[in-house]
Amino acid sequence: MRYLITGGAGFIGSHVTEALLARGDSVAVLDDFSTGRRSNLAAVASHAKLRVVEGSVVDGALVRSMVAEADHVVHLAAAVGVRKIMSERVSGIRTNVEGSETVLAACAAHGRPLFFASTSEVYGKNAKVPFSEDDDSVLGASSLHRWSYACAKLLDEFLALAWFHESRLPVTVARFFNVTGPRQCPDYGMVLPRFCHAALAGSALEVHGTGNQSRCFLHVDDCVRAVLALVDTPVAVGQVVNIGSDEEVSIRGLAERVIALSNSGSTIHAVPYAAAFPEGGFEDMLRRVPDTRRLSRLTGWKREIDLDQTIRDALRWAREDNAAAAR
């Protein structure tokens, strides 16, 4: 099987690329390397069945030509991370809306099955927990730019499902919940790698707000298993499916576990949101917990890696990343 992975040099994309190559598939990666790293693909860089193309998902001609050569498309390319969304406001929206529209139209034109990555952000401020796929989206005001990412990805979902209903495009939409682990970069506000790098440096771990807000962190290896399971499950076509962990932890609790597992002497420093995001436009939600019963029912998937092991793997990678940067 020939796969096209947009964003295939990114954090999740590189792991999916490796997994597909390991099972014998051919992979073409399209990545603009704005956040993806060539080093993420170092282990498979010389693989005979891998082709890496530097380019953007908003390049319609390039996307159409690569989709035409694929049997299946995995669309992971997106502008992600709170810091990036807040600092690159126009380009972030453009990438997430125009890029997705380009990929969807190309897949529809060539009849290619599509796995479409969305986000738990689309649930917004909904207070009903856990979030199930048919729950309401409750987004904040447009004056708070933080919600632009959720709005853009929700629009993408509407468009993907519209293509499915009008043109029978075989598309599956997956909502990722706080996927983390090796290769996730701390640069754009990703909390676990940020905590790991701080703990290893003996620096204070900055917790925004009270730290009582909670999340469920899923190891990237468990995420990849879910992605491949959905790709291989025809009955998932036309559905929206959560991918996440059921192990909930407060952000302060996460910081405490990182410090303990790294044997660090670091302290925890609470930073008000106004100080963390002085440009304004940010708002947080108290809890984000997925209901993954649909995923389990469709594919038999279950989470295998607990939070402590996820933290250990993230710490190991942070050490390796620091060592590579020092060379």
- Catalytic site residues? 149
SS3 assignment, position 120: helix
- Residue 93, C-beta contacts closer than 8 angstroms, at least 6 positions apart: 79, 148, 152
Give whole-number Cα distances, 36 to 7, 12, 182, 225, 280, in Å.
Answer: 7, 10, 13, 21, 27
**Kind plus residue range of the DSSP H or E element containing 71:** none
Give whole-number Cα distances, 83 to 91, 262, 279, 298, in Å.
Answer: 13, 26, 11, 35
Closest of 28, 31, 33, 94 to residue 67, by C-alpha: 28
Give whole-number Cα distances, 135 to 2, 128, 150, 167, 305, in Å.
Answer: 35, 8, 15, 25, 27
Cis, peptide link before residue 130, omega less than 30° from 0: yes
* 3-state DSSP percent of the chain in helix, strand and coil, to 5: 45, 20, 35
Name 131's bridge partners: 290
